[in-house]
Homo-oligomer: A and B are copies of this chain.
Amino acid sequence: MKEAAQKKINKYERILEAAAKVFAEKGFHKARISDVAKLAGVADGTVYLYFQNKDDLLIKTFEFIMDEVNSVIRNIYENEPSHKERIKKLITAHYQLASRYPHAAELITFELRQSQKFMKEYENKKFKEYLRLIGTIIKEGQEAGDFSKSLSPYVTSRAIFGILNETMLQWIASKGKYRIDEISNTVMKIVLEGIA
B183 touches A190 (CB 8 A): no
In whole angstroms, how far apart are the Cα atoms of A30 and B196 in the complex?
43
A64 within 8 A of B: no
B166 touches A158 (CB 8 A): yes
A191 CB contacts on chain B under 8 angstroms: 190, 194
A159 touches B110 (CB 8 A): no
Give the number of copies in the complex.
Answer: 4
A165 CB contacts on chain B under 8 angstroms: 162, 166
Interface set, chain A 152-178, CB cutoff 8 A to B:
152, 154-156, 158-159, 161-167, 169-170, 178
**A interface residues, Cβ below 8 angstroms from B:** 26-27, 29-30, 109-111, 113-114, 117-118, 148, 150-152, 154-156, 158-159, 161-167, 169-170, 178, 182-183, 185-187, 189-191, 193-196
